[in-house]
Amino acid sequence: MKYRKEHIGLILILMVLLFSHTYGEAKTKSDEDSVYQRKFFTTLTIGVVEYSSFCFGYQINPNYSVGIKFLSILVESSGGGGATGFVMSGAYGIGIVGAHYFSGRLFNSVKLSLVPLFKSSYSVDSNNFIDGVSFECTFNREKLLSSLFKFYYELGGAVIKYSERNALVAPSLKIGFIYNF
């Protein structure tokens, strides 16, 4: 699968712009421990389009975190653009995720992930080891306190380009658990 340098450059520029914009700072309590306490975290989610994912991350500071994400996605088997051809497939990927935290009631962070997708049983015959890419932008609500095992949700959108199929632009809805340590 061939990607233009302009597409990759545009994605990187969008990530820089999103992470350089300040939405607010993480809330802190002066009379108690700071809300920012965790250093590492893991998430386990199930959802629409990206039907399972696992992330191991590091909290850089109260406003930013990075992580490594492992995921399985829905891949359209017929090559068309409709959802009727989607099946649970062997499309898996490992990539990066970055998050920016802000003050909010419904959501308190925005996450961007870029995940190369590996060749699967639904791949068109090719010699490429990486047969697609998934780009996702989600808003979520999570606690930054250490040693917590909590419910977790994300809402956003995803763009998935896999093999020779048309790019899929779809909502991304996920629920799962987060553990901070």
pLDDT digits (tens, 9 = 90+) for 5-56: 555 555 655 554 454 444 444 444 443 344 557 899 999 999 988 889 999 9
- How does residue 77 score in pLDDT terms, banded at 50, 70 and 90? low
The tens digit of pLDDT for each residue in 80-95 reads 444 444 444 567 899 9
Q: Tens of pLDDT along 169-178?
A: 888 999 999 9
Could you tell me which CATH number the domain at 5-21+37-180 has? 2.40.160
Q: Where are the domains of the chain?
A: 5-21+37-180
**Would the pTM of this model clear 0.75, i.e. be above it?**
no
Side-chain half-sphere CA neighbours of 90 within 13 A: 6
